[in-house]
Structure 1
């Protein structure tokens, strides 16, 4: 997994940006997320989970993201770009000449703006004869180093108005590859500019969410099975330390994916033995040993929420009210997204079992469950969510302010972060796709919120039907799965 280096020291700055994460609860970096393909250098994170816990009209950019230029605010109400961007810049970040303008999303002079545009439009390539060691800020005239500084400083190639007939997509792809090569080759221009820049607030939020998501996925796709949490109440779980820091302590079982047909055969045999024994209390050894993924997914959804900055600002009452409202929504979204990434049309569990297929093979018919396991994935597939859009959508749902029972103070906090993540998603999409296309994509992604709240209601209905259909031998399920039953009401 190639990484695009983000110019920020997370070990020192995570605490500054997220003050609720203190030194005591920092932990070694999670390294087991190679299949969560993102061009983010996760190795710069050093985090253990808390015990509580001027825009261009057509600006777009690649996923590799620009280096940021200005300090950022930690306030949830702050804009995606720093408030200092409203002030006129003083120096060009490329050549250090005086300027009062932003060009292609960075403070730059007219000369560097024109030079950068001309290089891309004409396709001319310049190579430094001295290995990229020229100091443009001291007036050394090297077009190769100047162009590299334009790239590293974050000049947005997609913000340029290109002449008709120019292959814009080809240019943007070439710029993406050039940026990546600069990083991977460790060009001198990189080390010169790293101390100068910190990443944008937008990128920082996205990277933090991706980091937490990678931890959640590592636990989800491992032998981690917190049965000791099945019988706790939601409020008690919210007051416990988040377990995301355990991600490196568990591995993916070597026998995954399992053979579903073999499992069905064993289930049928055990059901037959149960009937022959005429005992309604005969335990099923397979059921004892199996990992209850729906419960694990629900728990991990709570565990991730406990680390979000918004939740650390809420009272325990507000945390409980909010989590009851959104936990099933984000659980379904997570299951759907990873099933989509596995190229499945229905929800598929990490060990390879497809619940709807299992129901069919066992002769169980639940139309509502079919809807929550099939249509959910269809929606993600239709919108074609990528990991960055996915984690931002989850964050927006986590911070859903329209919840009955929230205190006024809590609602204001949640709403401020809801707006923050919404603005981040919009800006990110517009940076990738352009203003109009990005806004259209934003509306498409945001429309999934109401859709998944609908699916969550359906999932709760399906759970109620399943409980009502339980035999006497499973009446003790209520005591064994207190947390799940509480959240599915």
Structure 2
């Protein structure tokens, strides 16, 4: 007997996929055979979209033992589909509830954190900031599950959002989530950007949230802030990764989940791409050497980061903005110099100071190479996938070297 065709009430296509479906229950976070929606005439595709838009926590999925599909493959399909839905203006519903609960919180007291004139207090405040950032970055809890709304379309919206993950750092578990071998096997087979690059996303959101605690954030026009964050994001991502890797005594860049970046891009999916291997070696191995040699301590690290935040040679920033950034940069440079000379004496302190300032310049160089690397992966190796897994406002922060041509990359 022939089965009757039915019309999907959502996409208006004829379909047979109404019955005995394996669908996701957003409430139980498991794979179950269940029809959970009242409308009977929905096809399998629409049911799937509805489930993930209800806010299913893909971190909690459980796969039936008899299933031959890995959880990483399921996560990849969900994250890719979420990116496709976001491009047409559809976003997970749970985000609105999360952010509505924090609207009444007043964080204005943090706006004065850097207004102290005493240098020891400034350093102390920067160390407190680093403690909060470190807790979030190293936590198994992800910013994308706590304090970020994927419906944001522009960097301006992200900057102006009321939430600041740093002020909510105690919501993040103090335990690291080290990925297992099946994750490595999955990205080797399917590519690094088959899943959301959570560490990169978290780092960029943290950079924006840290900027909101810096004095320049309340002195510059919004357009200046956007130009500034766009310019300093990749150097700060480099600093965060090399700082973490050095503290773990690693000679190559590793992410907080314990995976060396070189290993993540060394699988069969990339088929031994020579240009990719060259960029990986240069950015994530060779460029680690100066950071290993310098061996910054906590105080030096937070001051170097503040100097990068206050970088005043930025295309697009107004003259008034550059003038203020210059004064901020000079302030942090002065604090660093006096701290080092107090530690090591006049000559040795000045030598150490010059070494650290060279590291600032090197962060910008490495950041430029990192952007080139991401452009190469996006345009050559994983065409179209980067935009699906990366939040739209953060894409330009990563791909700011869009005018780089392939011959220039292969000639590096």
Both structures adopt the same fold (TM-score exceeding 0.5): yes
Deviation of residue 441 (structure 1)? 0.2
Q: Which residue of 1 aligns with 2:245?
A: 339
Deviation of residue 460 (structure 1)? 1.0
SS at 2:313's partner residue?
Answer: coil
Q: Which residue of 1 aligns with 2:144?
A: 226
Q: Is the 8 A contact 1:369 1:459 kept in 2?
A: no
Q: Which residue of 2 aligns with 1:293?
A: 199
Q: Which residue of 2 aligns with 1:238?
A: 159
In structure 2, the CA distance between the partners of 1:358 and 1:204, relative to structure 1 (3 Å rule), is same
Provide the rounded CA distance (Å) in 1 between the counterparts of 2:257 and 2:330.
Answer: 36
Q: Which residue of 2 aligns with 1:377?
A: 288
Q: Which residue of 2 aligns with 1:435?
A: 346
In structure 2, the CA distance between the partners of 1:429 and 1:478, relative to structure 1 (3 Å rule), is same
Deviation of residue 317 (structure 1)? 1.2
Structure with higher Rg: it is 1
Q: Is the 8 A contact 2:236 2:305 kept in 1?
A: yes
Unaligned runs of 5+ in 2: 1-104, 401-412
User: Is residue 350 from structure 1 mapped to residue 271 from structure 2 by the alignment?
Assistant: no
Superposed CA deviations along residues 291-342 of structure 1, whole A, max 9, x for unmatched, are 5211211111111111112222111111111111111111111110111001
Provide the rounded CA distance (Å) in 2 between the counterparts of 1:291 and 1:461.
Answer: 17
Provide the rounded CA distance (Å) in 2 between the counterparts of 1:294 and 1:403.
Answer: 23
Q: Is the 8 A contact 1:333 1:376 kept in 2?
A: no
SS at 2:315's partner residue?
Answer: coil
Provide the rounded CA distance (Å) in 2 between the counterparts of 1:351 and 1:475.
Answer: 22
Provide the rounded CA distance (Å) in 2 between the counterparts of 1:347 and 1:311.
Answer: 30
Deviation of residue 393 (structure 1)? 0.5
Provide the rounded CA distance (Å) in 1 between the counterparts of 2:387 and 2:159.
Answer: 22
Greater RCO (CA < 8 Å, at least 6 residues apart):
1
Provide the rounded CA distance (Å) in 2 between the counterparts of 1:299 and 1:404.
Answer: 22
Q: Which residue of 1 aligns with 2:130?
A: 213
User: Is residue 426 from structure 1 mapped to residue 337 from structure 2 by the alignment?
Assistant: yes
Provide the rounded CA distance (Å) in 2 between the counterparts of 1:314 and 1:327.
Answer: 17
Superposed CA deviations along residues 446-486 of structure 1, whole A, max 9, x for unmatched, are 011221111111111111111112456x4572585312321
Provide the rounded CA distance (Å) in 2 between the counterparts of 1:329 and 1:224.
Answer: 22
User: Is residue 25 from structure 1 mapped to residue 106 from structure 2 by the alignment?
Assistant: yes
In the superposition, the TM-score normalised over structure 2's length comes to 0.63
Unaligned runs of 5+ in 1: 1-23, 27-46, 54-72, 79-200, 272-283
Superposed CA deviations along residues 349-372 of structure 1, whole A, max 9, x for unmatched, are 111111102222444541223322
Provide the rounded CA distance (Å) in 2 between the counterparts of 1:448 and 1:320.
Answer: 24
State the 4+ residue runs in structure 1 displaced beyond 6 angstroms. Answer: none
In the superposition, the TM-score normalised over structure 1's length comes to 0.54
Provide the rounded CA distance (Å) in 1 between the counterparts of 2:258 and 2:216.
Answer: 34
